[in-house]
Structure 1
Amino acid sequence: MDFKTLDKSFINGEWIEGHSKRTFDNQNPYDGSVLQTIKLATLDQLEDTFLIAKNAQEEWAKSSSEDKKNVLEKVIEFYEQNRDDIVEIITKETGGSVIKANVEVDLTVGLVNEALNMPDELDKVEEVPAGVENRVNRVHKLPLGVITSISPFNFPMNLSMRTIAPAIALGNSVVHKPDAQTAMAGGSIIAKAFEYAGLPKGVFNCILTDLEEIGDAMLESPHSQLISFTGSTPVGKHIGKIAGSMLKRVALELGGNNPFIVLQDANVDKAVDAAIFGKFIHQGQICMSINRFIIHQDHYDEFVNKFVDRVKEIPCGDPTNPETIVGPLINEEQADKAEKIIEDAKKAGAKVALEGKREGNLLTPTVFVDVENNSELAQTELFSPIATIIKAESDDHAIEMANDTPFGLSSAIFTEDLTEGEQLALKVESGMTHINDQTVNDHPNVPFGGAKESGMGRFGNPWIVEEFTMTKWVSIQKEYREYPF
């Protein structure tokens, strides 16, 4: 299927051209070629879409569990039938490797598969003890209403679908805005899948637009009950302020400064294997990517030498080449930002063990060693193929440095003592800690989310069910109640 023709917003079951006089060129970040030119949707179109979603949700909420499951099963069928074309779009649109693209499709399908378990939650009624004679207390879960979904450019399909599939499975409607840089992977392909699946009109809507057109309207609509956002912490804080003022719920997955800790008893070779993957998959452009390598002093030199040797071998270049691991950053601005991080760190005296090179938006890996944990370099979310290695004096010192950050998304600990490793994992101030693995992990049936400034709420079943439904208490007085006055 030629997904490049999907250059319009999907509103009320129709592919509608944006009314703005402005357009956006969706470019391949590797070679700069224009994949599609999008006429952006306007504020008026967005406001109309929220009303459409509100009305559609009222009907969708009445649909049976089987109806919802049938739609989700057809979405999975669409992905299976079009997998090769979807992988190609992900590589060309995001700059991700073929490996990354396949992982993203697998994660997306896994999310929809898990969502198949959710419609039945709306049919469950829990009875709880009553403190009044002849009363029955029942607890129901009801759809929340309209959910606002805003997704980023890095894993656009996966990070969109983890909101969209549960929301629809639980009887909600969705107004979704992908990053225009990944309009197809993050929005239009998802819309096409639900169109193929026969989802009723208006239940899922995908708006192709930008902030210059709509401002904060995605956040401020009175018809939306929850804002789901994945992106930077500053934007997340802005969303939190608006949502708080309107008493809206939020599901926020924000920035990270994820530590990879190698303890005194760790197997260094295994740690290096994990470190390479956790740092360089998708050029480090993942919220969960390893940001700081914190290595016990007994293993420090060995780890540095083996890590640098492995990094030198990483294939860099055209992401459509199946051999490529590190492709381009998403755009010139991100490449400039990464280059500035490197130059600023050098000026501050950081030691370079491996120097990267830039060609267009492609930046080959750079490795800094002997980094101070309190340095600007170590305290910056790098979001690029830049590695920082820090020496720890002891295991306790490693945990202390790991926690010395305002962020707390993901983390990893390498150790041969699994019992002690689990106890130390509980001391790391992050929403997720992985023992003898790297930091980039996600499954549809685990509580995915961060601590501190890395976010609020949890994705994954069953935690997302609580986020995306309203809990309602209904009491039934079976016999007339006598009142004290």
Structure 2
Amino acid sequence: MADLLVSDKTVFGELTGDLVDVVEPATGAVLGSTRLASPDDVSHAVTRSVVAQPKWADTAPAERAEVLLRAARLIHDQEDEFVRWGIRECGAIAGKTTHEVHSSRGELIAAAGLATEPYGQLLPAAGRMSYGRRIPFGAVGVITPWNFPLVLAMRAVAPALALGNSVLLKPDHQTPVYGGALIARLFEEAGLPAGVLEVLPGKADAGHALVADPRVPMISFTGSTRAGRIVAATAAEHVKKVSLELGGNNATIVLADADPEAASSVGAWGSFLHQGQICLTTGRHLVHRKIAGEYLDRLAARAARLKVGDPTEADTQIGPIINATQLANVDRIVRASADAGAAIRAGGTYENLFYAPTVLADVTPDMPAFTDEIFGPVAPVTVFDTDDEAIALANSTAYGLTASVITAEPFRGWKLAERLRAGMVHVNDTTVNDDPAVPFGGVGASGNGGRYGGQANWEEFTQWQWVTVRDTPPDYPF
């Protein structure tokens, strides 16, 4: 899988869009170049996908499962290559990328199990056989972002393929190798038939072409809430299903009985992993006034100890922000909040694309650090006095992806968790949690209620069909 980038032709095939450089965020080095998909390329790929899908759906379920299991073995055998590209193309540290590769393998194994599960039910009827069965949509479009491009692709691509769909994957143009070319090569080597998976790295024009194509009845989109609204509107115009997993402004509630040392570890991991560039990131630390001072001291000390630098170095803990535009937005939020009265307890500085892990104290609900999704290594801390106040603060956002509660009394934490408006809640753990078997997704501005993972994949990537059979046609009155 080494030579994936050349000037005019890639493993994506003959694409006709812009020729773009693939840039390493940590160094600014050009890793190679690739063509992007144009709208015409998308149209041609949809044609191939629509032609290939029926035969793939008719393939024996065990054979579909075997392709996914071969892919799982290959990703394990070639882990070093995947990790190398994840570090260099995404600016991710080795630990994050290794975990992502392992999670992607888990998605493939879990999806393989779907292929041979029961897919329908007999329905009550008299004088005829009546049953409902789950059938594939056909060609499924999958649009993925740059922050976790491998696993966020695999969690949709793998189950969609397992359940008999063909897939058109459009990775972000900033991560065309780790989020696209490696996946294309992986499935090619696993024996997936041609046309069943089309990989189309591209920008917004390619994504629009995919969402607007009437031959693609279902779209799976992961990305920003702003972009998700555009995708949803376009999909609605064409009356197709769309599954949206969008942004988050996730809260961790630290109760007065929590151990500040353990809680600050949970908080630091939640805010600083992958430079905070995760939809699950802890964007708001809601801490009881009784322990807020100690929590802030420990959190700021943890932030100051983290090594910021080139993620190819084994001891680096904080890598670069993906691009200058995103870094400027992170700094804007920090500066505006500081101007409004927040105290910078750690960080608040940057060099090139490296933003220092930042802790903000005295954050109030009207500050950008509280209201906005930051998508950077920033931990805003807001103080509360009562459980009701903590719940009100946590729920005072349009987002609803994930949340957590830290407490010495798990049952108390569980009762509070039931009051949080979020698709996922964790007691005595970080907001950053995922697993191939869980129903992953959010509510509100974090998504439209779709779920990925486990049995939820049946709801996402298949649809019901009702079938009846009689021995002979009935005699109707007219």
What code does the residue aligned with 2:453 have? G
How much has 1:29 moved relative to structure 2? 0.2
Q: CA deviation at 1:339?
A: 1.7
Instruction: Give, in whole Å, the separation in 1 of the partners of 2:477 and 2:257.
Output: 69
- 1:460–1:371 distance in 2 versus 1, CA, 3 Å: same
Shift of 1:190: 0.5
Give matches, 1:273-292, under 5 Å.
273-292=265-284
Equivalent pair of 1:134/1:479 in contact (CA under 8 Å): no
Alignment of 1:157-236 (within 5 A): 157-212=150-205, 214=206, 216-236=208-228
Matched, 1:5 2:5: yes
**Larger deviation: 470-479 or 435-444?**
470-479
1:126 aligns with 2:118: no
Please give the TM-score of this superposition, normalised by the length of structure 1: 0.95
> Contact between 2:4 and 2:181, CA under 8 Å: does it hold in 1?
no
Q: Deviations over 1:369-428 (max 9, x none)?
A: 010023222101010011100001112111110000000001010112222221211110
The letter of the residue matching 1:180 is H
Look up the match of 1:38.
Answer: 34
Query: In structure 2, do the counterparts of structure 1 residues 215 and 287 end up closer, same or farther at CA, with 3 Å as the change threshold?
Result: closer
The reply on whether 1:65 has 2:53 as its aligned counterpart is no
**1:283 and 1:326 in contact (8 A); partners too:** yes
Match of 2:464 among 471, 475, 478: 471
1:9 CA drift (Å):
7.6
Structure-2 separation of matches of 1:215 and 1:439: 29
Kindly report the root-mean-square deviation, in angstroms, between the aligned alpha carbons of the 2 structures: 1.7
- Using the TM superposition, give the Cα deviation of residue 356 of structure 1 relative to its aligned residue in structure 2, in angstroms: 3.2
Structure 1 residue 153, shift from structure 2 partner: 0.5
**8 Å Cα contact 1:17/1:40 also seen in 2:** no
Residue 7 (structure 1) shift? 7.3
The aligned counterpart of 1:28 is: 24
Compared CA separation, residues 431 and 3, structure 1 to 2 (3 A): farther
Q: Whole-Å Cα distance in 2 between the matches of residues 91 and 65 of structure 1? A: 35
Where structure 1 has 5 or more consecutive residues not aligned to the other structure, the ranges are none
Bigger mean CA deviation after superposition, 203-212 or 164-173: 203-212
- Contact kept? 2:149, 2:171, Cα under 8 Å: yes
Match of 1:270 among 256, 262, 265: 262
Q: Give 3-state SS (helix, strand or coil) of 1:61's partner.
A: helix
Which of 370-379 and 152-161 deviates more? 370-379
What's the offset of the Cα at 1:479?
6.7
Distance 1:475 1:413 in 2: 50
Structure 2: distance between partners of 1:201 and 1:15: 12
Deviation at 1:45, TM superposition (A): 1.5
Structure 1 Cα separation of the partners of residues 461 and 82 of structure 2: 28
> Against the structure 1 CA distance between its residues 3 and 332, is the aligned structure 2 distance closer, same or farther, given a 3 Å change threshold?
farther
In the TM superposition, residue 482 of structure 1 has moved relative to its aligned partner by 6.1
Does 2:261 correspond to 1:295?
Answer: no
Match in the other structure for 1:374: 366
Partner of 1:54: 50
* Aligned mates of 1:104, 1:179 — CA distance in 2: 17
Native 8 Å contact 1:7 1:37 kept in 2: yes
Residues 180-217 of structure 1: per-residue CA shift (max 9 Å, x gap): 111111111010100001100000000122235x3621
Q: Partners in 2 of 1:40 and 1:176 — Cα distance?
A: 13
| Separation of aligned partners in 2, 1:51 and 1:399 | 50
Give the whole-Å Cα distance in 2 for the aligned partners of 1:125 and 1:252: 26
Aligned partners of 2:468, 2:393: CA distance in 1, in Å?
Answer: 52
- 1:242 pairs with one of 234, 255, 260: 234
Change over 3 Å in CA distance of 1:335–1:124 after alignment to 2: closer
CA deviations 1:51-81 (Å, max 9, x no partner) are 1100100111110011101111111121111
**Does the aligned pair in 1 maintain the 2:348–2:355 contact within 8 Å?**
yes
Tell me the TM-score normalized by structure 2: 0.96
Seq. identity, % = 36
Equivalent residue letter for 1:329: I
Give, in angstroms, the shift of residue 268 of structure 1. 2.1
- 1:2 alignment partner AA: A
| Separation of aligned partners in 1, 2:417 and 2:9 | 44
Matches within 5 A, 1:298-313: 298-313=290-305
C-alpha spacing 1:23/1:8, structure 2 compared with 1 (3 Å): closer
1:450 to 431, 437, 442: 442
Provide the rounded CA distance (Å) in 2 between the counterparts of 1:462 and 1:452.
22
1:107–1:443 contact (8 Å) kept in structure 2: yes
Is the partner of 2:371 in helix, strand or coil?
coil
Q: Does 1:148 align with 2:136?
A: no
| Alpha-carbon displacement from aligned partner over 1:264-291 (angstroms, at most 9, x marks no partner) | 2222222111111111110000000000
**Matching residue's letter, 1:291:** G
Secondary structure (helix, strand or coil) at the match of 1:29 reads: coil
In 2 relative to 1, CA 9–165 (structure 1 residues): closer, same or farther, beyond 3 Å?
Answer: farther
**Following the alignment from structure 2 to structure 1, what is the Cα–Cα distance between the partners of residues 214 and 6?**
29
